[in-house]
């Protein structure tokens, strides 16, 4: 066991497209520094955006944003959203958009799952704004639903790892949660 | 695209063992509701624990905790930590422990990667405490290091998905971040 310095190794994380209305127009950026804060209703999720990003002001202004989950098929477009800034490039033309209940959180028809959130709070941590959103509605493509639930194998999420600077695929199920451990109960 | 209600679909997330000293003794619980808040130094990570958990008071008291990453090989023990409460079961005997700079954040020798954190803040969100930690040191097993970096393929993290209630394996690399998108630049 070696000390390697305070290196964040909490990976992989799901790669997302975060949508917001900025200066009156839909914009998207690629974000994998996300978090599940609690489990319940209301459900809170977080996204961490460097303050330098173009999107932050739009989330503050409209108090809404989306978290859209691209599949592997959308890797090139998703990565492109991480290379370009909405300041000088209209990224909304890359996708077919739709809106939900919140009206100002653009979502992506090509993403199998889209979540729209209402801004709950903003935490300032160094050079980052952490946007804490309350999940209002989730939209899933028929093709990834099984018995009304999102089938993650069909979503084929794009998993981000910083050390390798790679997107990874999801593998296979290896065990049942709240069950596998029962093997130790004797 | 169907509205399915405010269903959190931000999965998979890395399954972790969170370690803390509670009532003077090391304890661990299984946590997959985690977050990467920012990217930089200091590096902040979050874990969301229902207030009912035994561990919360220990983190508050010592202001330290660990985030340990079990590999697939440790699935049964990890899941067991999610079934048992430290209130009435000593989970520390499941693992070989070690401590780092912070002295009160127990870590697991069987986990290929262990991170120790200093408590930075606690957010109360409904029935949950969100512990925001500042990453102080990361410990990695020699077998998962390549050129001084954590090789996620060798870690073989245990990925959690709520809808299927399954642990999943990591798949294969599918593309390069900040590069794949250049295919669209013409």
Contact flag B171-A171 (C-beta cutoff 8 Å): yes
3-state secondary structure of A163: coil
**From the list A80, A161, A174, which residue is nearest B181 (CB)?**
A80
Contact flag B168-A165 (C-beta cutoff 8 Å): no
**Biggest distance spanned by C-alpha atoms of chain A:** 63
Relative to beta strand A13-14, strand A16-22 is unpaired
Nearest-angstrom CA–CA distance, B19 and B116? 9
With a CB-CB cutoff of 8 Å, which residues 104-163 of chain B face chain A? 109, 113-115, 123, 125-128, 130, 132, 135-142, 145, 148-152, 155, 157-163
Q: Tell me the per-residue pLDDT of B121-132, one tens digit each, with 9 for 90 and over.
A: 999 998 999 999
Q: Is the pLDDT of residue A186 over 80?
A: no
Give the per-residue pLDDT at B23.
Answer: 94
> Tokens 């290091």 belong to which residue?
B145
Q: Tell me the per-residue pLDDT of A45-56, one tens digit each, with 9 for 90 and over.
A: 999 999 999 999
**From the list A10, A123, A132, which residue is nearest B34 (CB)?**
A10
Whether residue B97 lies within 8 A of chain A, CB to CB, comes out as: no
Q: Band of the pLDDT at B185, cuts 50, 70, 90?
A: confident
CA A62 from chain centre, in angstroms, equals 19
**Lowest mean pLDDT: which of A41-50, A83-92, B36-45?**
A83-92
Q: Tell me the per-residue pLDDT of A137-179, one tens digit each, with 9 for 90 and over.
A: 999 999 999 999 999 999 999 999 999 999 999 999 999 999 9
**Biggest distance spanned by C-alpha atoms of chain B:** 63
CA B5 from chain centre, in angstroms, equals 27
Q: Is the pLDDT of residue B186 over 90?
A: no
Candidates B120, B127, B125; CA nearest to B53 is B127
Per-residue b/e over B4-14, b at no fewer than 16 CB within 10 Å? bebbbbbbbbb
- ipTM given for this complex: 0.97
**Bridge partners, B137 (sequence order):** B116
Nearest-angstrom CA–CA distance, A21 and A19? 7
Q: Tell me the per-residue pLDDT of B80-113, one tens digit each, with 9 for 90 and over.
A: 999 999 888 899 999 999 999 999 999 999 999 9
Contact flag A45-B178 (C-beta cutoff 8 Å): no
Which helix (H) or strand (E) covers residue B16, if one does? strand B16-22
Q: What is the mean pLDDT of residues A60-83?
A: 97
Q: Which of B33, B34, B72, B180 is the mutation pick for testing A, counting most A CBs within 10 A?
A: B180
3-state helix, strand, coil in chain B (%, to 5): 20, 45, 35
Give the per-residue pLDDT at B110.
Answer: 98
Q: What is the mean pLDDT of residues A47-74?
A: 96
Give the per-residue pLDDT at A65.
Answer: 98
Q: Band of the pLDDT at A15, cuts 50, 70, 90?
A: very high
Q: Is the pLDDT of residue B172 over 80?
A: yes
Q: Measured between CA atoms, how close is A91 to chain B, in angstroms?
A: 12
């Amino acid at each position: 066991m070696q000390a390697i310095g305070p290196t964040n190794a909490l990976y992989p994380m799901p790669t997302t497209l975060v949508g917001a209305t900025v200066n009156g127009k839909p914009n998207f950026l690629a974000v994998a520094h996300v978090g599940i804060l609690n489990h319940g209703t209301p459900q809170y999720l977080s996204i961490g955006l460097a303050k330098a990003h173009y999107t932050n002001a739009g989330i503050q202004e409209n108090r809404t944003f989306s978290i859209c989950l691209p599949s592997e098929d959308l890797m090139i477009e998703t990565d492109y959203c991480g290379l370009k800034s909405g300041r000088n490039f209209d990224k909304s033309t890359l996708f077919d958009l739709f809106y939900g209940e919140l009206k100002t959180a653009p979502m992506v028809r090509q993403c199998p799952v889209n979540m729209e959130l209402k801004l709950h709070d903003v935490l300032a941590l160094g050079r980052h704004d952490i946007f804490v959103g309350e999940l209002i509605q989730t939209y899933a493509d028929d093709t990834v639903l099984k018995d009304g639930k999102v089938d993650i194998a069909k979503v084929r999420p794009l998993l981000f790892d910083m050390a390798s600077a790679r997107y990874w695929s999801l593998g296979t199920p290896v065990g049942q949660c709240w069950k596998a451990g029962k093997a130790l109960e004797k």
